[in-house]
Structure formats: structure tokens, C-alpha cells
Amino acid sequence: MRVSRSKNIIVKYQDRLGEFHTVETKDKMARCFQHEIAHLDGILYIDRMSDEYVFNEETNEKASVKYFLDLTRERFST
């Protein structure tokens, strides 16, 4: 699954000392920033899944989205 992301972004942030900064980035770094910001917003890969099943493209095996959600719950509930 490919997530649509902006090619160029400007990020405004506050560092641990309370100083405000702005960074402008593009291409792979912009994609990385957006990926990590999604995590800060509590969004994971499995949250973006809309189908009932996902397929491993290499083995063509099918797994349910519920299976991945259950794995995540187990991992974070310990």
C-alpha cells in the first residue's frame, strides 16, 4: 500500500528548549518527516488499511487486517 504524501513540505517545530524553528524539505526527507509526524499523531500503517485482507506480494499469502490489529494490541498491552 502506498500512502499519498506531499513532495515538498515546511515543518514548524519547537525544540526541547522552547525555541521555534522552521525547516523546508523535499522528496525522501519530506516523506520521512510526514511518516514520523503521522506516528506523533498516533497513526500507524494498519490504521490506513481499508481492505479486509492484505497480501504478501512475494508469497501471495493472505492475512486479515484483524490479525495485524490483534498483534498490535498484544505488543502494546504488555
By the 8 A CB rule, do 47 and 35 touch?
no
Q: Which of 19, 36, 52, 58 is catalytic?
A: 36
**Does the annotation mark 36 as catalytic?**
yes
Burial (CB count within 10 angstroms: exposed 0-12, middle 13-18, buried 19+), residue 9: middle
Measured CA to CA in angstroms, residue 21 lies from 4, 10, 12, 30, 40 at distances of: 26, 10, 6, 16, 18
The residues carrying an active-site annotation are 36
